[in-house]
Every structure is written in C-alpha cells, then in structure tokens.
C-alpha cells in the first residue's frame, strides 16, 4: 500500500512534507534510514544534527530514492494552517491513489487532526480506500526523512537546494 509519511515545519509559514513510500519499499527504506543513526542516538532529528551530518543525510536520502510532496499554508494561524495542509494532503492522496497517511504523533493536536482527516476523507469519497494514523518518531524512521526535508525546505538557501531533488510536487494553500 502506498503511504504518505508526514512531518511539518512551523518556521516561515506552515509546511508539511509527505514522503511517498511505495508498496514493498517500507522495510528497505526504514532499514536504510535507521542506518543513518549514530551510536548513542535514538533517532535522527535535523535540528540536532551538525551541518556535515545534515549534508550526508540529505545526500543519502536522495540516493536511496526518497521523494516527497510539499504542502504549505500561509494563513498565519497555526491550527488553520495545519487544517488546510491536512485537507490538501487528503486531496493529494485521493487523487494519486495513496492508501495511508502517517503523521508524527503529538497528543495535543491528535484529536483535532482526526476530525479534519475524517471530514476530508469522507468529502473526497475515499473512506474505504484511505486510512490515517499517528506514530511516534522514535518508532517510525520514515518520519525522519520527512523531518529532514521539512527542516531543509524551511531553512532555505543551500539546504533547500540540497533537498529540492527529492520534491515531486508543491502546493500552497491560502
């Protein structure tokens, strides 16, 4: 089942990055991404990495075929921005035939996310075809790839340039 694994950045607007994971690739991608973790680290988190590690991770993610969609909202109100991005991700998933959306777990907003996702899934008529879930970052290495791309896109400059080859589409929502 093709999945979208999603993380966000709240720097310079609201940005969600959805890494596309094709059927049969999940195990291999997880293994390759997990191999990037240094001894003593529990997970990759781009804000905590050195610049040389960031360059290495981005290069490796590109080489192993990580690809992602970007969705940005500039409403300047975080809950509204998040809702707009989630609705756009469901529209993208519905139109492309993705079957699952996985978001990083944040218990403070999980209930609101589920309501938005439920409404959007029903509005697009994909109730029986599209599922969604929240996972913790330390258990789901695919979230680390979304985090790396989101951080790089939000940071801009050379970081955006380095992550750009992995971007397959971008949408801006009002």
CA distance 73 to 2: 24
User: Mean of the pLDDT values across residues 121-134?
Assistant: 97
Q: Does domain 3-173 have CATH number 3.30.70.20?
A: no
Residue 12: band (very low, low, confident or very high) from pLDDT cuts 50, 70, 90: confident
pTM for this one?
A: 0.96
Residue 112 has pLDDT above 70, yes or no: yes
The number of beta carbons lying within 10 Å of the beta carbon of residue 58 is: 23
How much helix, strand and coil, in percent to the nearest 5, is found in the chain?
A: 50, 20, 30
For the chain, the structural domain boundaries read: 3-173
Q: Average pLDDT of the chain? A: 96
The pLDDT value recorded for residue 174 is: 67
C-alpha pair distances (Å), 8 with each of 5, 123, 125, 135: 11, 23, 26, 14
pLDDT tens readout for residues 59-98: 999 999 999 999 999 999 999 999 999 999 999 999 999 9
């Amino acid at each position: 089942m093709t999945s979208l694994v999603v993380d966000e950045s709240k720097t310079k607007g609201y940005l969600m990055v959805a890494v596309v994971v094709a059927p049969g690739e999940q195990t291999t991608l997880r293994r390759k991404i997990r191999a990037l973790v240094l001894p003593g680290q529990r997970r990759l988190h781009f804000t905590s990495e050195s610049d040389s590690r960031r360059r290495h991770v981005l290069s490796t993610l590109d080489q192993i075929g990580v690809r992602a969609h970007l969705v940005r909202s500039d409403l300047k109100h975080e809950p509204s921005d998040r809702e707009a991005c989630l609705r756009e991700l469901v529209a993208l998933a519905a139109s492309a035939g993705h079957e699952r959306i996985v978001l990083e777990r944040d218990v403070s907003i999980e209930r609101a996310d589920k309501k938005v996702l439920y409404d959007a899934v029903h509005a697009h008529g994909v109730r029986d075809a599209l599922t969604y879930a929240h996972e913790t970052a330390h258990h789901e290495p695919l979230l680390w790839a979304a985090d790396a791309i989101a951080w790089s896109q939000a940071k801009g400059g050379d970081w955006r340039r380095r992550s750009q080859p992995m971007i397959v589409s971008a949408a801006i929502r009002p």
